[in-house]
């Protein structure tokens, strides 16, 4: 259990009861599984920082310990609460992103020797069993639930929309069924009607007077 003795030594002056010793052990287990302590309380504070040590004020309330953790790669954050109920401690862990929860109840007397809190080598009892229960009861379930939530809700990326796609007032263009343009000529201007009446032998269009030489009827031979 490398690292636990060093952590215990740094926190020893503040360890005054069995629940303090158990929370110290829990913190060490979180660190060994890739988490850093951030701070105390439900909400982030100005003094938050990633650390393997217990944060300042971690045991101000002996009945309710509230610690926050972040995984080493920043992918998930945990809120850990340890509640003292007579000779037991209830551990409750919440993963912020997926809102997954895990609970574990431990009997303090099974794992902590209240008569030797000042001696690291005699403070903890059944250490391997305690480790196994914390891992199987809290850490593994949270990890498995988080991974399932990640698989069921994969992150999808979409190409950015263009300005033409985003504009809600844009009228979509009309696309004819064929790319071939119709053979008719452009319509006449509004003032071209009757123009050929004014120039019956010219080349303007729109008149009602028929030119006998261009009417299409057969002409007599001279």
Considering the domain boundaries, does residue 144 fall inside one?
yes
Residue 175 domain-assigned (yes or no): no
Considering the domain boundaries, does residue 92 fall inside one? yes
Number of domains forming the structure of the chain: 1
pTM of the predicted structure, to 2 decimals: 0.67
Query: How far, in Å, are 135, 179, 186, 215 from residue 90 at the CA level?
Result: 15, 74, 86, 108
> Could you give the CA distance from residue 22 to residue 26 in angstroms, rounded to a whole number?
6
In 3D space, the residue among 94, 92, 39 whose CA is nearest the CA of residue 64 turns out to be 92
* Residue 47 covered by a domain: yes
C-alpha 85/C-alpha 108 separation (Å) is 10
Q: What angle do CA 70, 76, 81 make, to 5 degrees?
A: 60
Per-residue pLDDT of the chain (222 residues; tens, 9 = 90+): 779 999 999 999 999 999 999 999 999 999 999 999 999 999 988 889 999 999 999 999 999 999 999 999 998 999 999 999 999 999 999 999 889 999 999 999 999 999 999 999 999 999 999 999 999 999 999 988 767 766 665 544 445 555 455 555 555 555 555 555 545 454 455 445 555 555 555 555 555 555 555 545 555 554
CB-CB contact of 210 with 200 (8 Å): no
* Residue 189 falls inside a structural domain: no
Going across the sheet that includes 77-85, the strands are: 35-40, 64-71, 77-85, 88-95, 100-107
Domain range for 118: 4-150
Three-point CA angle 147, 150, 152, nearest 5°:
110
Considering the domain boundaries, does residue 166 fall inside one? no
Residue 112: give its domain's CATH number.
Answer: 3.40.1000.30
In a domain, 103, yes or no: yes
Per the domain annotation, does 106 fall within a domain?
yes
SS3 167: coil
């Amino acid at each position: 259990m490398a690292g636990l003795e060093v952590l215990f030594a740094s926190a020893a002056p503040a360890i005054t009861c069995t629940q303090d010793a158990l929370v110290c052990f829990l913190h060490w287990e979180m660190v060994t599984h890739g988490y850093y302590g951030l701070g105390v309380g439900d909400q982030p504070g100005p003094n938050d920082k990633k650390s393997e040590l217990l944060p300042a004020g971690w045991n101000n309330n002996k009945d309710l310990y509230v610690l926050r953790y972040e995984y080493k790669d920043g992918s998930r954050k945990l809120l850990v609460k340890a509640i003292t109920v007579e000779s037991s401690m209830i551990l409750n862990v919440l993963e912020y992103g997926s809102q997954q929860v895990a609970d574990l109840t431990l009997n303090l007397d099974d794992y902590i020797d209240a008569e030797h809190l000042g001696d690291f080598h005699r403070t903890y009892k059944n250490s391997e069993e305690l480790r196994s229960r914390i891992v199987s009861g809290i850490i593994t379930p949270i990890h498995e639930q988080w991974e399932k939530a990640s698989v069921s809700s994969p992150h999808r990326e979409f190409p950015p929309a263009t300005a033409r796609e985003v504009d809600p007032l844009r009228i979509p263009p009309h696309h004819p069924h064929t790319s071939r343009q119709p053979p008719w000529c452009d319509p006449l201007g509004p003032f071209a009607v009757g123009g050929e009446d004014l120039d019956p032998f010219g080349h303007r269009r729109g008149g009602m007077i028929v030119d006998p030489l261009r009417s299409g009827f057969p002409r007599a031979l001279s």
